[in-house]
Structure 1
Amino acid sequence: MADLTTASTAPAGVNFGDLSKLAAPTLPALSEPVPKVGGFWSSNPLFSYINDTYISIAEHRKSLGLVNPGTVEGLNKEVSRDVFLNQYFFTGLRADFNKTFSMDPAFQTAHTLSIGSPVLLPYTFTVLYASSNMFVQGNIDSDYSFMGRANLNWDKSNISKVTLQFANGQPSFCQFEQDYQGSDYSINLKALNPSFLYGSYTGVAQASFLQSLTPKLAVGLESAFSRQPGSPAPDASISYFGRYNAGNWIGTAQIQGQGSLLASFWRRVTDKVEAGIETQIGLDAKPIMDPLRGGLVGFEPEVKAETTIGAKYEYRQSVFRGQLDSAGKVRVFMEKRILPNAAILFSGEIDQAKSESRLGVGLQFETAGNEEILMMQQGLIDANGNPIPGAPQL
């Protein structure tokens, strides 16, 4: 292939491929050519030693076969997000209408109607757009509260995230986040409601680091700094993390800056059954009252602990989640697909300590913007439009 740099400066009709036709007669070499210096990093003894040490450590890390440990935020996601039903539980009556207009890039809209729920609002509209390097989601509800988030993948390692929330009658919320995913480590920087309008930084700033020590063990820490407007001094804390992934089971431990301990254990029982347990132990201040005068005398430390155990059963047409905690709460959530584009939802809770119970029933409908997407949702064709073997033909 021709060299474009030299060809662009060559006179017309001259071929630089054979330089011997243009070169002037050369004089014999009077001395040996001077060896090429490797540069500043190799010529300076101190930096050369640092560079060699860095190369040796990098080669040793590569030989260990380390993998990326994920993020601190998703340290125990297998338990808190996959098995437990905290993100799925609801009460009252609920109906979801989802419509997909395209798959690549993905563009979807959703309408959620709710009655009798203390948490869900009567109406919520959601829009989602996702491509290979971008994710944007926003929703607005019947109280005119807006929440949106956007993720931008600069490359395979860098992800920038922005979250905004404007709630009616409540303070606004803004969060900026930057993720860096290395080959065997991850770095996360986060700022919540940052501001410099009061003469110094106010808000919350967090920085976390998670490093794989072996292919199964990862450790990390997180530093948090917060200052509120008008406060005399800021607050700072450091948390420590550990995660061990053995493949079919995962154990995590967190020593949080507030003095609490959080430990979790996840186990894949079968290809359709997962189980998890989570224990949190923390210190709290218990008020001490004067038995004679009835006034507040002071506070004494009190240890509080809570343990939650749960299981997830995932079958072809249904998903069942159940959990039980030490406070006496029993929760269940079931999603049953009755049609390729329709599912029923059921959630229930029994609080043994308070003798209370709550129920939730919902319907979920999915529609397609065109016939091709509808066939993909029904499992008739794949993402490339090819028929799936064994699927019924129309």
Structure 2
Amino acid sequence: MELDQKHEVVSEVIGHNGPFGRLSDVYRSFHERREALGLSNPGTVENIAKEVQRDVFLNNLSFSGLRAELTKAFSVAPLFQVSHSLAMGSQMQPPYSYGALYGSSKVFLQGNLDNDLQFSGRFNWRWTQAFVTKTSVQLTSQGNMLSLENDYTGSDFSASLKAVNPSVLDGGITGMVMGSYLQAVTPRLSLGIDAFWTRPAMAYAPELNVSYAARYKAANWMACGQIVPDRGVLEASYWRRLSEKVETGINCNLAFAGIGPGGPMGAMQKEGSVTIGAKYDFRTSSFRAQIDNQGKVSCLLEKVIAPPIRVTFSGEIDHKQNAAKLGLAVSIEAADSEVMEQQEQAPADAGAIPF
């Protein structure tokens, strides 16, 4: 017993007075000051301009032709649903595709198969509340793609590591590797870094591009920027909420790299694009519109006819190319009465699905 007590005393003396004790005190002091700032998670570098790119702009929402989608939900907790999609007059969408989705607090599964037997799937697994592994695969006639991603969401930072088509079969590492880190410095300001490494084959030299990002978020407006010094690319975005129903955003992209028309001895080529957009939310619908410096005007109207029926209209006019696109989509979400009751009774604090 006396020997055990002596060991405990020696361990306490070393822990408080040795180098480990000093490191522990420094870490404890840093952690306390960090918590005193009251910082929150700033999001990710990939979604640093999500208020502009996802909420206001319709770059990923516009379409052409006719579309119809029928979704059937079988349960809410866990989430399980299947869908049938039909498309006409669109070069981006297949004529028919079948999809299935399953999600719980730990796992997320999604698969799509079209009429040409082209398959795309996603599998996400939540190891802890902060650590999620995401996997996606695409099997098409043009080629296959495999993506592996690990995301860690801390209390005041986010870190991500992603690899696309990684391989060591050619005698070395090939593919694409991306890593990002975004840290909240103050309750409103966040700073981040993003690195992109690519090597399509061993015959090519590897290429590394590093970008730096900053984001400032206030109560009703947001400004962010990202710069890639090696490529001479600068991108800036600004978002503002004018009222409870109106949001606006602007994005500016400038590039000062590349070889101009005069060849290697000519002047450096300069390119730029500016896009301005707005979103208005009605009681049962929403309207988005945007215009860029190339003369392209786009709009998107989403209307809920009834709780299970949604109609979407998309229009685009390209004055520079003298072209126009129109799209109309109808989406129907069906569910049994028991499933609808489960959805209404589901608690708001239920475990989030790792999408």
Task: Determine the C-alpha separation between the residues in 2 that align with 1:146 and 1:358.
Answer: 27
CA drift of 1:40 comes to 9.0
- How far the C-alpha of 1:230 sits from its partner, in A, is 3.1
* Aligned match for 2:148, one of 172, 176, 191: 176
Are the structure 2 counterparts of residues 155 and 40 from structure 1 closer, same or farther at C-alpha, using a change threshold of 3 Å? farther
> Do structure 1's residue 70 and structure 2's residue 43 form an aligned pair?
yes
SS at match of 1:42: helix
Would you say the 8 A contact 1:41–1:51 is kept in 2? no
Q: Match for 1:288 among 238, 261, 264? A: 261
- CA 1:353/1:232 → structure 2, altered by over 3 Å: closer, same or farther? closer
Larger Rg: 1
The aligned counterpart of 2:353 is: none
Amino acid corresponding to residue 117 of structure 2 in structure 1:
Y
Q: 2:68 matched to which residue of 1?
A: 95
Q: Select which of 317, 330, 341 maps to 1:350.
A: 317
Shift of 1:330: 0.5
Q: Deviations along 1:219-240, whole A, 9 cap, x unmatched?
A: 0101222112133421111110
Which deviates more, 321-330 or 134-143?
134-143
Whether 1:207 aligns to 2:179 is yes
1:246 correspondence with 2:209: no
1:36 counterpart SS class? helix
- Cα distance in 2, alignment partners of residues 45 and 297 from structure 1: 61
CA distance in 1, matches of 2:126, 2:8: 44
Q: Call closer, same or farther: CA 1:376–1:183 in 2, change over 3 Å.
A: closer
* Partner Cα distance (1:297, 1:207) in 2: 32
Kept in 1, the 8 Å contact 2:180–2:194? The answer is yes
Q: Is 1:360 aligned to 2:327, yes or no?
A: yes
Corresponding residue of 2:302: 335
Say if 1:105 and 1:301 are closer, same or farther in 2 by CA, change over 3 A: same
Match of 2:291 among 321, 324, 335: 324
Matched residue count? 344
Q: Percent identity?
A: 41
Deviations 1:307-354 (A, max 9, x none): 111111122211111111111110001111112211211000011112
Sort the Cα spacing of 1:56 and 1:43 in 2 relative to 1 into closer, same or farther, 3 A. Answer: closer
Give the AA of the match of 1:212: A
Letter in 1 for 2:226: Q
Q: In the alignment, is residue 229 of structure 1 matched against residue 177 of structure 2?
A: no
- The alignment's TM-score, normalised by the length of structure 2, stands at 0.90
Q: For the structure 1 residues 334 and 47, does the alpha-carbon distance in structure 2 shift closer, same or farther, using more than 3 Å as the test?
A: same
CA deviations over 1:70-117 (Å, ceiling 9, x no partner): 111111111111111112111011111111111111111111111111
Of residues 44-53 and 123-132 in structure 1, the stretch that sits farther from structure 2 once superposed is 44-53
2 CA distance for matches of 1:60 and 1:204?
A: 38
Measure, in 1, the Cα distance between the counterparts of 2:44 and 2:56: 19
1:53 offset after TM fit, Å?
1.2
- What's the TM-score, normalizing by structure 1? 0.82
Secondary structure (helix, strand or coil) at the match of 1:200 reads coil
Q: Which residue of 2 aligns with 1:392?
A: none
Alignment equivalent of 1:372, drawn from 338, 343, 351: 338
What RMSD, in angstroms, separates the aligned Cα atoms of the two structures? 2.3
The structure showing larger relative contact order (alpha-carbon pairs under 8 Å, at least 6 residues apart) is: 2
Cα 1:125/1:258, change in 2 over 3 Å? farther
